[in-house]
């Protein structure tokens, strides 16, 4: 009889312990209650993740306290808004739908990027293409831009008479970017200029000036070649973040286009 009572007593004690612990466990999952309604810790966790994503903000005890305060305040304000019937208005429902769509779209693209990451091989291949395009010679040139051919011819005559190129550029050039610097265009690949300018520039030898005005869409140029050198493209490590970002964007754009292409609608997009 004693053994039976002992077993029953232990079972009762265990049940009592579990029932006492259950509220404590539930309480640990909540920050507090507001007017009897629990405020779950998971809300604060989500806000903390957003605040500290990609190292934008360090996770500190002060930040955690601020987030908890924010979550509890939100619950207070939401309860008041519901009391006033604001959760039943059309404006509220429309905004909720837009918010729902925004969250789902963000999750869609995030999921795609996780499953289709840009690999090191992708980055290397893109860098190799960039390096090939940036290869070759770079030219350091000066130019003087004027509106009329006669003005350009007059400048060439003055240069032949001993005038300094830099002085004439500062005084006469219509190019606001280089004129103040004596016409200096710094180092650049000739392909970065308009074709007429590039063709004239690459025919010059170091120190030479064009003997005829060079016409382009901007006006008439007098060009001087200061020097040439082999191009020095940046290293892979220097441009890796930009390449990765660009390839990610390309993948996302292709993914969006695929979804658009397979979706059935008679709507005509006004912009692409």
Model confidence pTM above 0.85: no
Domains and CATH numbers, the chain: 25-87 (no CATH), 89-135+242-259 (no CATH), 137-230 (3.10.50.40)
Q: What percent of the chain has pLDDT over 90?
A: 78
- Comparing C-alpha atoms, which of 54, 96, 48 is closest to residue 69? 48
Q: What pLDDT does 55 receive? A: 66
Indicate the pairing of strand 214-216 with strand 219-230.
antiparallel
Q: Alpha-carbon distance 78 to 216, whole Å? A: 64
Q: What is the pLDDT along the chain (272 residues), one digit of tens a residue?
A: 344 434 444 444 444 444 444 444 445 699 999 999 999 999 999 999 888 886 678 889 999 999 999 999 999 999 999 999 999 999 999 999 999 999 999 999 999 999 999 999 999 999 999 888 777 889 999 999 999 999 999 999 999 999 999 999 999 999 999 999 999 999 998 988 999 999 999 999 999 999 999 999 999 999 999 999 988 888 999 999 999 999 999 999 999 999 999 999 999 988 76
- Comparing C-alpha atoms, which of 131, 163, 162 is closest to residue 233? 131
Local structure of 193: helix, strand or coil:
coil
Distances, alpha carbon 177 to alpha carbons 149, 156, 184, 253, in Å? 21, 21, 9, 35
């Amino acid at each position: 009889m004693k053994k039976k009572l002992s077993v029953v007593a232990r079972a009762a004690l265990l049940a009592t312990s579990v029932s006492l612990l259950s509220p404590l466990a539930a309480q640990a999952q909540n920050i507090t209650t507001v007017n009897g309604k629990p405020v779950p810790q998971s809300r604060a966790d989500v806000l903390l993740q957003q605040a500290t994503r990609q190292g934008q903000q360090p996770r500190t005890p002060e930040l955690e306290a601020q987030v908890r305060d924010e979550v509890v305040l939100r619950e207070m304000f939401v309860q008041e808004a519901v009391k006033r019937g604001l959760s039943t208005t059309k404006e509220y429902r429309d905004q909720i739908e837009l918010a729902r769509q925004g969250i789902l779209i963000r999750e869609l693209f995030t999921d795609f990027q996780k499953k289709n990451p840009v690999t090191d091989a992708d980055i290397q291949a893109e860098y190799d293409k960039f390096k090939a395009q940036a290869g070759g010679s770079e030219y350091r040139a000066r130019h003087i831009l004027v509106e009329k051919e006669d003005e350009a011819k007059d400048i060439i005559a003055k240069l032949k008479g001993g005038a300094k190129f830099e002085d004439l550029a500062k005084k006469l050039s219509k190019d606001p970017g280089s004129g103040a610097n004596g016409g200096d265009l710094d180092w650049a690949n000739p392909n970065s200029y308009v074709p007429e300018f590039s063709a004239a520039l690459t025919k010059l030898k170091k120190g030479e000036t064009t003997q005829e005005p060079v016409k382009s869409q901007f006006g008439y140029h007098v060009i001087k070649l200061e020097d040439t050198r082999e191009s020095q493209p940046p290293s892979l490590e220097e441009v890796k973040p930009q390449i990765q970002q660009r390839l990610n964007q390309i993948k996302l754009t292709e993914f969006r286009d695929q979804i658009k292409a397979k979706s059935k609608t008679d709507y005509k997009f006004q912009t692409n």
